[in-house]
Every structure is written in C-alpha cells, then in structure tokens.
Amino acid sequence: MKILSLLLLLLAAIPTFGQSVDPAKVLFDVGTREEQAGRPERAKLALLTLASTYQSHPLADRAKVEIGAIYLFLEAQGQVQSGKTQDAYATFRAVLRIYPESPLAKLADEAAKSLGIPADPRR
C-alpha cells in the first residue's frame, strides 16, 4: 500500500504537456514534504527509493542525509514511547544539532520542548 501511494504521488507530479520530469527531484520533494507533515516513515520510503534508484544523482547524497535525520528522529520517538524522556530529549536535541537544515529539525525542537525538561547547556 505504501508503494502504491508513492507511485500515485509520482504520477500526479508528472506534467501533462510533455515537460521533462526529474523523478529523483519528485522523490526528494515528496520525502521532504512528508517530513514537514510529520510522517517520517513515508518520507523515509521516498528518500530510500531515491537513494537506491538514482545513486549517481546529486540529490541522492542529500536524501541520505535526510534518511539519517529520520532514523535519529524515529529513535527519539521510540525513546518517548518507552518512557525514556531524558534520552529522548537528548536525541531530539541531537537532531537539531546534527541536521539543522532538515525539515525534521523544527519538529524535533517542538517535541523536545513538549517533554518539559529544562534545557541542559551541555547537550
């Protein structure tokens, strides 16, 4: 079902008047939009597809960086779910430090603040 959704998104992005489309760019845009919308699993699928299918494309390296941000963000979410709020706070802050340009940086900041843990200047 996930792959079908992704394929439908790709088809919807194809121009109708014969303009050339860069499928890697479409995948990257889908991935970053999904990140911004708070759907990291969907973003990961689009970006992994880009990185594995279009390995020599310039966006493949950027996709790999975003995949790293996604994995770290998902780790923090798992820590929250398992009650490890101090660890989750530190991991969300790590997303901000390591991937400040990622669409997930804003979500990580909001999630860290929502934990109610006072900021530790050492982290």
Percent of the chain with pLDDT over 90: 76
Kindly state whether residue 100 falls inside one of the protein's structural domains.
yes
**What is the extent of the structural domain holding 55?**
2-12+21-114
Rounded to whole angstroms, how far apart are CA atoms 73 and 95?
7
Kindly state whether residue 86 falls inside one of the protein's structural domains.
yes
pLDDT in tens, 23-77: 999 999 999 999 999 999 999 999 999 999 999 999 999 999 999 999 999 999 9
Kindly state whether residue 123 falls inside one of the protein's structural domains.
no
Kindly state whether residue 119 falls inside one of the protein's structural domains.
no
What is the number of structural domains in the chain?
Answer: 1
Stretch among 11-15, 111-115, 118-122 having the lowest mean pLDDT: 11-15
Contact 35, 45 (CB under 8 A): no
Kindly state whether residue 121 falls inside one of the protein's structural domains.
no
Q: Does residue 118 carry a pLDDT above 80?
A: no
In this prediction, residue 116 carries a pLDDT of 86
In this prediction, residue 15 carries a pLDDT of 55
Kindly state whether residue 28 falls inside one of the protein's structural domains.
yes
Rounded to whole angstroms, how far apart are CA atoms 29 and 43?
9
Kindly state whether residue 87 falls inside one of the protein's structural domains.
yes
Rounded to whole angstroms, how far apart are CA atoms 47 and 41?
10
Q: Which of 64, 82, 59, 73 is nearest to 106 (CA)?
A: 73
pTM, to two decimals? 0.79
Give me the mean pLDDT over the 79-83 stretch. Answer: 96
Kindly state whether residue 67 falls inside one of the protein's structural domains.
yes
Rounded to whole angstroms, how far apart are CA atoms 72 and 77?
9
Rounded to whole angstroms, how far apart are CA atoms 29 and 18?
20
